[in-house]
Amino acid sequence: MTALLPEAPIFKATGVGCRFGGVIALDSVDFQVGPDEIVGLIGPNGSGKTTLLNVLSGIYRASSGSLEIDGKPSRFKSSRRLSRDHGLARTFQNIRLCPSLTVRDNVLIGMHSGFRWYDALWTGGRGSRERRSVERVEEILEFVGIADKRDEIATDLAYGDQRRVEIARALATNPRLLLLDEPAAGMNPREARVLVDLIKRIHDEREIAIVVIEHNMNVVMNTASRVMVLDAGLCIAHGDPKTVSSDPHVLEAYLGKRFRDA
Amino acid sequence: MDLLQQIINGLTIGSVYALVAIGFSVVYGALGLVNFAHGDILMAGTFVTYGLYSGLHVPIVLAAVAGILAGIVLAGVVEEIAVRPVLKAHLLIPMMTTLGMGLIIRNVVELKYGSGTLPFPSFAGSGFYTVGDLKIAKAAIATLLVAILTLVVFAAFLRYTKAGFAIRVVAQDMTAARLMGVPVNRTIMAVYGAGGALGVIGGLLYANTLEVVYLGMGFPILLKGFAAAIVGGIGNLQGALLGGLILGILEATVGPSAGSYRDAIAFVLLIAILLVRPAGLLGARVQERV
Amino acid sequence: MLSFVPRPVIRVAAVALLVYAFLLPNLVQPYTIRVAATILVFTVFATGLNLILGFTGLLSFGHAAMFGAGAYISARLMLDTGMPLALVILVAVGGSAVFGLLVGLTSWRVGGDYLALITLGVGQIFYLYLNNANEVTGGATGLPGIPAGTFFGWDLSSIENVYLFILVATLVATGFAWLIGRSFLGRSFLAIREDEVIARAHGINVPLTKVVVFGIGSGIAGLAGVLQVLLLGFVGPATFTVDQSILVVEIVLIGGMATTFGPLLGSVLVIGSTEYLRSLADYRSMIFGALIVLILLWKPGGLVQILGIGDTRAGRFRSPFSLFRRTGSRPAAVEPVAEPPAPRAVPEEVRS
């Protein structure tokens, strides 16, 4: 199992805990991701997957644990600094798009860090950063396959397309690590297959490390090189997808004790 | 002795603020929305009582009941028209729509009574009780008594009646309440009605204390009530009571030396509390869900 | 309403309107010029608020204080010093921008409706100050007899010239707001309005942006204050009451939030009707109140959306995420919630 761990993780969190009042959402979890990995994060509902993602992306504050970024110890940072300085991007379990903006404007929000203050008054003309950003957004929309919908209001799109807008927006931040929170939720099998393909392409062509939370096992098994299973705020299994899916603890967590030996 | 006198005066006006603050807090606690029409509703209700009492010489109790009923109806109308349809919208929208409703209500009252200051004969009669060196206005005693009685009745309503329970459930989680069969829409209406009633009672006591009614009275009462609610921790009834009394006492003790800046005390207190402890004295912080 | 009109026609009409606006002083009575100038002053004022309220979704109920800061600073400078007008404008705009920045700092701690009340409080305190600091502000009587200025040799003593100056300033302010609005900064305002979590997760510095928008919006309102002084030759506290703050909120809402021409349209309707429909004066706030409610319930883009001119980014102001509409730190009496809502096995909303 240890052989699977990356040699030089870009993000490495040790003993991460997160509690709200008396409720322990995350007990103590070790988590790391290397520059060339797709890590699957699975577990029953309420096991703390999204909390882990929220802590890693700086949306929740960890109550315990330590963090290393590129091998250097670091405090847990705000989601803004993680996005701007450390190349971390994410999507949300409940799709969060700006409901009054077009697809293109939504994705442009991801480009925010690239602008300097004087760009606020230079929004047109060749060579302006605005123009160049629009061109890059075009390329990203092309890449995720929704270029033809660029001028539509983002929340008018079909569910699967909205997920892709979120991914496009995350890609626009030019990330090294992309956290996907249930990207296949609400997708039909065909859309899920397209998604698997997209995740692989993001990883292969853009060389971005990916962490994916997913309930759809087809998606996890077909993308992840390493899988981590959470239950009740603890990591109960960890390894390559095949081993994990037959691990007795995992079966117990998902199906209950009775099925463990069946 | 002087200080004690000022504190008593402060308690009187403070109990009025507390009533308004609680009316405000109930609505805010249940829906997380500020009702910007609250001040105009309580002003309109007070004017209804004024019209009946001093214009038509209806007995004060009946006139007051009519004013309170008017407040409940107005609050219900505001809820129905300006809040319900936009409950799920961006926070700004219901704030602005209630503001619009407030403008309408105020305009209607203005058409009838104009924008001048009108004398409101105190229903407790004028005169003082003297206890040692202290002079306590009869109106102040009446105000204090009515305020305390109202607060007790309202607290009992929230605690022991089915409707009060429904209000508390909706305040906790609207979706869960709906799923559990709580009539959410009716409860929200009840919340607004209760807020309106408390507001009008507060408005009447305010008018009784100052012996005037005027078109703009809703605004300072609203702001001070809100300041009191925030100081105590919004959505928290004991907090609102505490905040109202603190504000009243501060105004009575610090007020005289603040001169013409007296009305600024509430705002300074409000801003200070919000900056230092946004959750208020008795409030709890909540983590936003993602 | 005008969506059937081809775009080129609208463009031609807009250019014609602009030319007419410049020729106005030669065509109409001084009273009309004065009204038009007032409308433009409020357009500038509302343009500043539109950035804060319409774009960023921050409710400033004390915007008259920023307007007043610009007016009083410029009035004092014109009375006491011989500063050239350009410099006066610079100082007044800068001064009110700094004032706005300071008020905006409170948005670090509170958001939404709390901010509305803080700004309301600031507006009220400012008004008390204007009324009471007699040596500085002239108290309730205000500061009369402010001399007419000259802007780089352009004499602003006649109403015609003041009008033209105000027209140019309005164009500059509107153009500035238009540029900001379509830039990355405008997008970050909108992102904050709609979802602060999104904004933060994509590298937007939310607290800084809020303060910046307060500064910019207040600076523009300060410019409106200077223009008001040039127009009236007088400042008094009556122009900077809370009612005035609410009036400008009305203008922004009626004209259309987060639009370029909303402030102008709103100002034409609200100020214009006040001047020309005096028979309606008694019903004024009722009409505007009803208009606000109707607009927010059906056409959040205001007149811009109703007329169908220009694009509006207020049209989809309704967020489908009712749970998440709360922004900033909003304490409540409920206990903290442990886990986010459970993941859905079946989509709640599969839309095609």
| CA–CA min distance A3, chain C (Å) | 32
Backbone angles phi, psi at C241, to 5 degrees: -80, 175
Check residue B215 and report its DSSP letter.
Answer: G
A59 contact residues in C (CB cutoff 8 A): 197, 200-201
Look at residue C334 in the predicted model and tell me its pLDDT: 31
Check residue C313 and report its DSSP letter.
Answer: S
- Quick one: how far is CA A224 from the chain centroid? 13
Range name among A223-232, B43-52, B277-286, C74-83 with the lowest pLDDT average = B277-286
pLDDT of C6 above 80: no
Q: Do B110 and C112 touch (CB under 8 A)?
A: no
Q: Where are the alpha helices (DSSP H) in B89-137?
A: 92-113
Residue A121 CB contacts under 8 Å (≥ 6 apart), including other chains: C176, C179, C180, C183
- Two tokens at C173? 């302010």
Tell me which residue of C266, C260, C59 sits closest to A123, measured CA to CA. Answer: C260
d(CA A74, CA A84): 15
What number does CATH give the domain C7-315? 1.10.3470
Tell me which residue of A131, A61, A141, A54 sits closest to A96, measured CA to CA. Answer: A54
Would you call C57 an interface residue with chain B, using a CB distance cutoff of 8 Å?
Answer: yes
Cβ–Cβ under 8 Å, residues B57 and B63: no
| Mean pLDDT of all residues in B60-71 | 92
Minimal-distance CA residue of chain B relative to A55: B290
| Mean pLDDT of all residues in A127-132 | 84
Would you call A98 an interface residue with chain B, using a CB distance cutoff of 8 Å?
Answer: no
- What amino acid occupies position A36? D
Minimal-distance CA residue of chain B relative to A57: B290
pLDDT of B62 above 60: yes
Diameter of chain C by CA atoms?
73
Q: Do B290 and A54 touch (CB under 8 A)?
A: yes
Q: Do B34 and C113 touch (CB under 8 A)?
A: yes
A98 contact residues in B (CB cutoff 8 A): none
Tell me which residue of A82, A94, A242, A240 sits closest to A162, measured CA to CA. Answer: A94
Q: How many CB atoms lie within 10 A of CB A176?
A: 17
Look at residue B1 in the predicted model and tell me its pLDDT: 56
Q: Do B85 and C335 touch (CB under 8 A)?
A: no
Q: Which residues pair with A69 in a beta bridge?
A: A11, A72
C314 contact residues in A (CB cutoff 8 A): 100
How many beta-carbon contacts under 8 Å exist across A and C?
151
| CA–CA min distance C200, chain A (Å) | 5
Instruction: For chain C, give every domain's residue range.
Output: 7-315
Would you call B257 an interface residue with chain A, using a CB distance cutoff of 8 Å?
Answer: no
Contacts by residues B257-262 (CB-CB < 8 Å, ≥ 24 positions apart) = B259/C132, B260/C128, B260/C131, B260/C132, B261/C125, B261/C128, B261/C132
Minimal-distance CA residue of chain A relative to C180: A120
A50 contact residues in B (CB cutoff 8 A): 290
| CA–CA min distance C270, chain B (Å) | 14
Would you call B287 an interface residue with chain A, using a CB distance cutoff of 8 Å?
Answer: yes
Would you call A185 an interface residue with chain B, using a CB distance cutoff of 8 Å?
Answer: no
pLDDT of C67 above 70: yes
Range name among A92-106, B21-35, C44-58 with the lowest pLDDT average = B21-35
Look at residue C315 in the predicted model and tell me its pLDDT: 43
d(CA A152, CA C223): 37
Cβ–Cβ under 8 Å, residues C173 and C44: yes
d(CA C140, CA B15): 32
Q: Which residue has the higher pLDDT, A179 or B158?
A: A179
Q: What is the mean pLDDT of chain B?
A: 84
- Two tokens at B35? 């009702």
**Touching chains, A (3+ CB pairs < 8 A):** B, C
Q: Which residue has the higher pLDDT, B23 or B133?
A: B23
| Mean pLDDT of all residues in B196-218 | 88
Q: Do A20 and B287 touch (CB under 8 A)?
A: yes
Minimal-distance CA residue of chain C relative to B259: C132
3-state SS, residue B123:
coil
| Mean pLDDT of all residues in A81-110 | 89
pLDDT digits (tens, 9 = 90+) for A132-142: 888 899 999 99
Residue B271 binned pLDDT confidence (cut-offs 50, 70, 90): confident
Q: Do C184 and A120 touch (CB under 8 A)?
A: yes
Look at residue B178 in the predicted model and tell me its pLDDT: 84
Q: Do B290 and A20 touch (CB under 8 A)?
A: no
A21 contact residues in C (CB cutoff 8 A): 335-336, 338
Q: State pTM to two decimals.
A: 0.86
A133 contact residues in C (CB cutoff 8 A): 184
Q: Which residue has the higher pLDDT, B226 or C70?
A: C70
d(CA C305, CA C181): 17
Would you call A161 an interface residue with chain C, using a CB distance cutoff of 8 Å?
Answer: no
Would you call A11 an interface residue with chain B, using a CB distance cutoff of 8 Å?
Answer: no
Q: Do B287 and A60 touch (CB under 8 A)?
A: yes
A54 contact residues in B (CB cutoff 8 A): 290
B290 contact residues in A (CB cutoff 8 A): 50, 54, 59-60, 92
d(CA C110, CA C327): 9
A59 contact residues in B (CB cutoff 8 A): 290
Instruction: Name which of B91, B167, B168, B231 to mutate to probe chain C: the one with the most chain C Cβ atoms within 10 A of its Cβ.
Output: B91
Cβ–Cβ under 8 Å, residues A79 and C201: yes
C131 contact residues in B (CB cutoff 8 A): 260
How many beta-carbon contacts under 8 Å exist across B and C?
189
* Residue linked to tokens 């906790």: B172
Check residue B284 and report its DSSP letter.
Answer: B
- What amino acid occupies position A65? G
A54 contact residues in C (CB cutoff 8 A): 340
pLDDT digits (tens, 9 = 90+) for C168-224: 999 999 999 999 988 899 999 999 988 888 898 898 999 999 999 999 999 999 999
**DSSP letters of C5-54?**
S-HHHHHHHHHHHHHHHHHHHHHS-HHHHHHHHHHHHHHHHHHHHIIIII
C193 contact residues in B (CB cutoff 8 A): 90
Q: Do A119 and C321 touch (CB under 8 A)?
A: no
Residue A260 binned pLDDT confidence (cut-offs 50, 70, 90): low
d(CA A67, CA A88): 14
What does the angle CA B269 – CA C128 – CA B245 come to, to the nearest 5 degrees?
Answer: 30
Sort strands A23-33 and A11-20 into parallel, antiparallel or unpaired.
antiparallel
| Mean pLDDT of all residues in C46-55 | 94
| CA–CA min distance A97, chain C (Å) | 8
**Touching chains, B (3+ CB pairs < 8 A):** A, C
**DSSP letters of chain A?**
-GGGS-SS-SEEEEEEEEEETTEEEEEEEEEEE-TT-EEEEE-STTSSHHHHHHHHTTSSPPSEEEEEETTEEE----HHHHHHHH-EEE--SS----TTSBHHHHHHHTTGGG--GGGGG--SSTT-HHHHHHHHHHHHHHHHT-GGGTTSBGGGS-HHHHHHHHHHHHHHT--SEEEEESTTTT--HHHHHHHHHHHHHHHHHH--EEEEE-S-HHHHHHH-SEEEEEETTEEEEEE-HHHHHT-HHHHHHHH-GGGT--
Cβ–Cβ under 8 Å, residues B21 and C117: no
d(CA A43, CA C324): 25
Q: Do A84 and C314 touch (CB under 8 A)?
A: no
pLDDT digits (tens, 9 = 90+) for C308-341: 776 656 444 443 332 233 333 333 333 333 333 3
Q: Which residue has the higher pLDDT, B288 or C288?
A: C288
Quote ipTM for the complex: 0.87
d(CA C186, CA C192): 10
Sort strands A64-69 and A209-213 into parallel, antiparallel or unpaired.
unpaired
pLDDT of A104 above 70: yes
Minimal-distance CA residue of chain B relative to A50: B290
C51 contact residues in A (CB cutoff 8 A): none
Cβ–Cβ under 8 Å, residues B81 and B101: yes
Ranges of beta strands (E only) in chain B are 117-119, 128-131, 134-137, 212-214
Look at residue C345 in the predicted model and tell me its pLDDT: 34
Instruction: Name which of C51, C179, C184, C351 to mutate to probe chain A: the one with the most chain A Cβ atoms within 10 A of its Cβ.
Output: C184
Cβ–Cβ under 8 Å, residues B171 and C333: yes
Would you call C92 an interface residue with chain B, using a CB distance cutoff of 8 Å?
Answer: no
* Residue linked to tokens 């811009």: C304
Q: Do B108 and C320 touch (CB under 8 A)?
A: no
d(CA C163, CA C157): 10
| Mean pLDDT of all residues in C64-69 | 94
3-state SS, residue B125:
coil
Instruction: Name which of C330, C348, C349 to mutate to probe chain B: the one with the most chain B Cβ atoms within 10 A of its Cβ.
Output: C330
A23 contact residues in C (CB cutoff 8 A): 336, 338-339
Cβ–Cβ under 8 Å, residues A47 and A215: no
3-state SS, residue C332:
strand
3-state SS, residue C150:
strand
pLDDT digits (tens, 9 = 90+) for A145-182: 998 988 888 888 888 889 999 999 999 999 999 999 99
Cβ–Cβ under 8 Å, residues C114 and B234: no
- Quick one: how far is CA A120 from the chain centroid? 30
Smallest Cβ–Cβ distance between A186 and the set C324, C336, C350 belongs to: C350
3-state SS, residue C128:
helix
What number does CATH give the domain A1-87+190-262? 3.40.50.300
